[in-house]
Amino acid sequence: MPYVTPSHPAPPRRPQGRRSRLFAALAAAVTLATGAALLSPATEARAAVAPAAEAQAAAAPSAAAALERVANFGANPGALTMYVHRPAALPVKAPVVVALHGCTQSAQLYADNSGLNTFADRHGFLVVYAETTTANNANKCFNWFQPGDTRRGQGEAASIRQMVAHATTAYGTDPAKAHVTGLSAGGAMTAVLLAAYPEVFAAGAVVAGIPYGCGVDVVSAFSCMSPGADRTPAAWSQAVRDAHPGYAGPWPRVAIWHGDNDATVAPRNADELRDQWTAVHGLGQTPSRTSTLGPNNTRRSEYVTAGGRTAVEVNKVPGIGHGTPVAPGTGPQQCGATGTQHFIASICSSYWITTFFGLDGTTTEPPTEPPVDPPTDPPTEPAACWTASNYEHVRAGRATTTGGYAYAKGSGQNLGLYNTFVTRTLKESPPGHYTIATGSCP
């Protein structure tokens, strides 16, 4: 999904103090899907009846420290709040991990229960917690489906990128060692950041999330969550490449975590994320090796480059619904707490994510490999072009509309105002994926 150029006007930035009735309705509708039912009914019921003693026993081994709020970290076009957890002894040129909470959650709740701070203290890295508000989204979801928040240089994605830059100047973190992870809407926004800012993030971990470029409005967001969108690896990877046209650097490594029993974000999304990021890295969809992790036998599939790097891994957690897998306790591979919703006793995903990022003090990644060019095989079908008004593109199913603007299906490119007076030429390749035609068009 490319950023919007000046010739293609972006939707106006939402006012800080007011919401139009239309946007409020859209936000309320999508948050019913993305936040109010974060857990499957069975899991939510178990959490509701858990005795207080059980919740206390599952709590983190030590009291959680309050996060440090950071003001004036940048222009902040997405109106987010920045918090940090800084270990007592933060080394020079420390890595940084950006953590993105799920719907209905807060930065502090995510910090208290996910277990990330345990490993930040143990291994010496800064954790930046981005937090959204009900002013942005009625249910405190990151707007992973809203084009004005998911494009390079715009909205919430740009605010998070500014947090990473501020961490470098204010805390001395290493800009080459920035990582990002998140749950649900935060997981979907993790995929956004990896696509829109591949030069910023070395790696990311998507927990119960959605592929980049799947949703561009409320209707498509519902469909992306469940049953999920089925696209070819080539189409998914093109969406990532379109997010930063002309980018020629190395692509971030990606870890994917998903519960087998997730009734909110269909487990199929883990496979589509795999298809997207293996194709970006020029890899096939057959794993190079498989293994199991922890006492619950989480199934791991790794996709390894010719140079020996694990570029993509998929971790499917058996027996859990929608949430962050944690394993309360004091053992070296334990972390987190389950005294609140959306944190499920299973396996300490933060331990394995920290290891995947190479931040555990023992993991040594091979040198960064050069980027892989996209496949050059000819498409199975010739590209088709369509010239029409934005109104007709939407009517014909080549575009969608939200907030008074039209967006090309597949790429999500902003076509301008949704009316009969703005005309665009769209190129369809592969089938169902539309981009604004540049240069010659058959």
Q: Please say whether the beta carbons of 146 and 109 come within 8 A.
A: no
In angstroms, the CA 302 to CA 248 distance is 24
Chain Cα centroid distance, residue 216: 14
In angstroms, the CA 384 to CA 403 distance is 28
Q: Which residues pair with 344 in a beta bridge?
A: 325
186 contacts: CB under 8 Å, gap ≥ 6: 99, 100, 101, 102, 110, 142, 207, 209
C-alpha dist (Å) from residue 297 to 261, 291, 293, 317, 332: 15, 9, 5, 8, 17
Q: What angle do CA 330, 355, 304 make, to 5 degrees?
A: 150
In angstroms, the CA 400 to CA 284 distance is 31
Residue with tokens 């995947």: 356
Which of 140, 147, 168, 17 lies closest to 81 in space, CA to CA?
140
In angstroms, the CA 168 to CA 139 distance is 31
In angstroms, the CA 19 to CA 33 distance is 20
Residue with tokens 């994320």: 273
Instruction: Name the token pair of 10.
Output: 């972006």
Active-site annotation holds for 184? yes
Which of 195, 10, 156 lies closest to 76 in space, CA to CA?
156
Which sign does the torsion angle of CA 268, 324, 161, 27 carry? positive
Pick the catalytic residue: 40, 114, 159, 184? 184
Which of 101, 127, 110 lies closest to 64 in space, CA to CA?
110
Residue with tokens 């293994």: 291
Q: Which residues are catalytic?
A: 184
